[in-house]
Amino acid sequence: MSKYMIRPDELLAELSKAYPQPRVRKEPEPVTPSVTFSNENLYGVVVYVVGEGVRGQYLRHEYFYREAERWWAIRLGWVVLYGRLKENGNVVPLVVMGLPTRFVFQFKAEDFAEYLLDENVVGYLEVKESQMMNLERCMQGKDPVLIIDKYGIVRQDGFATPSEMIEKLVEQQNIIEHLQRALWEYEKNIHELEASSQMIQAENAKLRELVRSFKSRFQKLASEITSVQMELIRLREDLKVRAKEIEVSGKAEEGLKNIVDKLEDLIEEFAEHLQTVTVAKKSIEKEEEGEESE
C-alpha cells in the first residue's frame, strides 16, 4: 500500500472540517418556563455581573451549600417570545431580552394564533446568594436586571448591604426628578414673568406717550389762559381810564363799576386755573424725570 494513498474516511473528515454543514435551526416550539425553587418573576431577568458585564438571562437555578453558605447554580441563556399571526402565519418576535419589540404595539392579542418561546442556553453561573444585590426586588418584579457583585467590587464603596445601594440610587433618582420638576417650574415662572414684563413695558411706553401729549396740551392751555388773563387786565385798565374821562350819570358809572368788578373776578378765576395747570404740569414733569432715571 502506498504511503500517499488517502483513505475515504480521512478525506470525508478533512472535508467536514473545511466545509462544515450549516446548522438547521428548528422553529421554536411552545415551552412552559420552569423555575426551580424560585419566583416566576425571575424568569427572563437579565443577569449582570459587576466587572464582567451582561452574562445572559435567567432561565432556572438550583441550590447547593458550600461552607455553610447557600449558593445558586444559575442556568443562563437568551429568551425570545414569538407570536404566529392568524392572517398569514408569519412568526414575529414580541419580547427580546425582556424588552417588548414594536410588534407588541403594532398588533393586538387577538391577531395571534399562538405564542412560541425560544430558549437558548448559553452558560452557567455559580454565585453566593449574598452576592445578589437586588434579588428581592427582582423576585417582586420591580427590577428587570439582576445585579451580582461576585468579586466584591461594589461593597468597597461603603455600602453595608446591597439594599442600601438600591435605596440610595432610588433616593438620588427621586431627588433628580424633584430638581427637574422644580427647574421646569422655575423656567415656567421665568417665561411668565418675561411676558408680564413685556406687557408692562408696552403699557409704560403708552403711558409716556400720553404724558408727553398731556404735557404739550397743558403748556398750550397755560399759554392761552395767560393770554386771556393779560387781555382782561388790559380791558379792565382801559375801562377805568375811560370811566374817569367821560362824565356819565350815576347809573352809568355804577354799571361800569359792576363790569370792572366782574372783570376782576374773572381775572382771579383765570389766575386760579392757571395755577392749577402749572401745578399739574410740574407733577407730570417730575414723573417723567423719574421714569427716565429708572
Count how many domains the chain has: 2
Picking from 184, 145, 181, 149, the residue whose alpha carbon sits closest to that of residue 51 is 149
Q: CB neighbours of 71 closer than 8 A, spacing ≥ 6?
A: 63, 64, 65, 126, 127, 128, 129
Whether 144 and 244 map to the same domain: the answer is no
pTM: 0.43
Task: Look up residue 101 and give its three cell numbers.
Answer: 419589540
Whether 39 and 104 map to the same domain: the answer is yes
Q: Kindly state whether residue 203 falls inside one of the protein's structural domains.
A: no
Whether 38 and 108 map to the same domain: the answer is yes
Q: Kindly state whether residue 14 falls inside one of the protein's structural domains.
A: no
pLDDT score at 18: 55
pLDDT score at 56: 92
Whether 149 and 44 map to the same domain: the answer is yes
Residue with cell 445572559: 56
pLDDT score at 35: 42
Can you give the C-alpha Rg of the chain in angstroms? 50
Q: Which of these three, 110, 132, 155, is where a domain ends? A: 155
Q: Which of these three, 121, 155, 189, is where a domain ends? A: 155
Domain region containing 69: 26-155
Whether 220 and 149 map to the same domain: the answer is no
Q: Kindly state whether residue 268 falls inside one of the protein's structural domains.
A: yes
Q: Kindly state whether residue 162 falls inside one of the protein's structural domains.
A: no
| DSSP β-ladder status, 99-100 and 145-148 | unpaired
Task: Look up residue 212 and give its three cell numbers.
Answer: 408727553
List the pLDDT tens digit at each of the 294 positions of the chain: 444 455 556 655 665 665 455 444 444 444 434 445 556 788 889 999 988 888 999 998 988 898 889 999 999 999 999 999 999 999 999 988 778 888 988 999 899 999 998 889 998 999 999 899 888 888 888 888 899 988 887 766 555 555 566 667 677 777 888 888 888 888 888 888 888 888 888 888 887 787 777 777 777 777 777 777 777 777 777 776 766 666 555 556 666 666 666 667 776 776 776 677 677 667 766 666 665 665
